[in-house]
């Protein structure tokens, strides 16, 4: 190619002169150092912590500052020294934690904790909308907060990573609880969940075919139990069976089939969330009356109202009651029973998210480019962006996508 060939030059040949051609230069993103605060959880029976010491170390190595309120990790068996030795700052004055750019916690903020917030801070926590008040939303708005509900955050696969990991833990834990309460040590009838050769294995009936149900199926089968799964969707049942990789008993809901199956069941796991259908139950009280004496019910969905008519919300201190001769375990937030595992699972979601946020140059730019995290935003700079919350509490709301267009 000739040196004077226009295709080999950054100059354009005009009639009288050579004109310089524009050259595009790549503009690098301006990284931002974040200050992240992890307060001690004030909600009773909440044992999880938002970041593990290892995750804190990763963030510190990227130039961010992490402030941990003294004792925040102790319920999950993380000591203050575990954090401080890996670069975290242990803070005794919790007001200092709430002055951080980003407040990261598990339970929703209390009204008293909102009072500690400075203006224009970012809060990432659960929302638990069914237990929130209009005052809670209004206080966050007055603080011009950007509030993100982590249960609504989506990943690149259009899934909810925090919900999925917590559901998996809840499903697995439910089977371990059932096995515990079948033993005579806990007042059960003294049956081993899996049985041994020559003894019929226990029967486990699971309501639902989602993530929690799948984990419960795997745990029950791993212990050697006979498993039967019911759901109102053939598609979900087929997907569950394909995921398990072997044939298991599955059925859509038929009252006669359910009644017959429950009569011989040793364990019933409720893993269906019925809140969107209003007050309704998959298993009625009459069905529970026909179950074997000493059978165990674990209703994972109790925090959403439950899917078994006889379920009543209990606490971790007083977790069980017996009704019609059947032991009921109906405690919300099962992952807090295994707080360390649950904390690691949550931290595995939060740490990469915060790293990407710093790389993007801050929250506003990050939300503009990340639609998954944007899906979790319900207040942006003091503006309500969740239409459902707006209608529920009669508060004006705006579309988050339209607000992002202004940046």
- Are 295 and 326 in contact by the 8 Å Cβ rule? The answer is yes
Of 106, 145, 102, which is closest to residue 127 (Cα–Cα)? 106
Cα-flanking dihedrals φ and ψ of residue 347, to 5°?
A: -60, -35
CA–CA distance, 123 with 137 (Å, rounded to integer):
13
Query: In the 3-class helix/strand/coil scheme, how is 17-48 assigned residue by residue?
Result: CEEECCCCCCCCCCCCCCEEEECCCCCCCCCC
Neighbouring C-beta atoms of residue 116, cutoff 10 Å: 17
Is-catalytic flag, 392?
no
Neighbouring C-beta atoms of residue 263, cutoff 10 Å: 13
Q: Burial, 219: exposed, middle or buried (Cβ in 10 Å; 0-12, 13-18, 19+)?
A: buried
What one-character DSSP code corresponds to residue 79?
-
Helical spans, DSSP H, in 249-399: 255-263, 285-289, 339-360, 363-369, 371-374, 387-393
The active-site residue, picked from 128, 266, 392, 394, is: 128
Q: How far is CA 52 from CA 154, 347, 348, in A?
A: 21, 6, 9
**DSSP codes joined into one string, 216-227:** HHHHHHHTT-EE
What residue has token string 């974040």? 34
The active-site residue, picked from 101, 266, 303, 370, is: 303
Neighbouring C-beta atoms of residue 348, cutoff 10 Å: 16
Catalytically active residues, by annotation: 128, 303
């Amino acid at each position: 190619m000739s040196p004077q060939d226009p295709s080999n030059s950054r100059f354009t040949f005009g009639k009288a002169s050579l004109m310089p051609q524009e050259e595009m230069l790549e503009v690098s993103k301006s990284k931002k150092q974040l200050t992240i605060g992890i307060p001690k959880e004030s909600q009773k029976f909440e044992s999880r912590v938002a970041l593990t010491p290892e995750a804190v170390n990763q963030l510190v190595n990227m130039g961010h500052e992490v402030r941990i309120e003294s004792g925040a990790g102790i319920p999950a068996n993380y000591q203050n020294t575990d954090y401080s030795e890996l670069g975290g700052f242990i803070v005794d004055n919790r007001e200092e934690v709430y002055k951080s750019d980003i407040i990261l916690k598990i339970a929703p903020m209390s009204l008293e904790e909102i009072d500690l917030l400075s203006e224009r801070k970012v809060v990432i926590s659960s929302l638990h909308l069914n237990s929130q008040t209009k005052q809670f939303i209004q206080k966050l708005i007055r603080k011009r907060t950007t509030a993100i509900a982590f249960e609504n955050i989506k990943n690149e696969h259009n899934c909810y990573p925090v919900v999925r990991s917590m559901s998996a833990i809840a499903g697995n834990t439910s089977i371990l609880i059932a096995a515990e309460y079948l033993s005579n040590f806990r007042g059960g009838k003294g049956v081993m969940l899996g049985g041994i050769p020559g003894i019929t294995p226990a029967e486990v009936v699971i309501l639902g075919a989602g993530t929690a149900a799948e984990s419960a199926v795997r745990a029950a089968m791993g212990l050697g139990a006979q498993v039967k799964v019911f759901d109102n969707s053939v598609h979900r049942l087929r997907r569950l069976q394909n995921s398990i990789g072997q044939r298991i008993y599955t059925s859509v809901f038929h009252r006669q089939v359910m009644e017959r199956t429950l009569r011989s069941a040793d364990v019933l796991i409720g893993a269906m969330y019925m809140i969107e259908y209003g007050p309704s139950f998959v298993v009625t009280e009459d069905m529970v009356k026909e179950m074997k004496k000493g059978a165990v019910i674990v209703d994972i969905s109790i925090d959403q109202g439950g899917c078994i008519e006889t379920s009543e919300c209990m606490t971790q201190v007083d977790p069980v009651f017996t009704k019609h001769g059947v032991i009921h375990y109906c405690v919300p937030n099962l992952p807090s029973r295994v707080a360390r595992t649950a904390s690691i699972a949550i931290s595995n979601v939060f740490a990469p998210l915060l790293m990407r946020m710093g790389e993007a140059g801050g929250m506003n730019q990050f939300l503009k480019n990340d639609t998954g995290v944007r899906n979790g935003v319900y207040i942006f700079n003091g503006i309500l962006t969740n239409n459902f919350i707006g209608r529920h509490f009669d508060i004006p709301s705006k579309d988050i996508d339209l607000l992002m267009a202004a940046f």
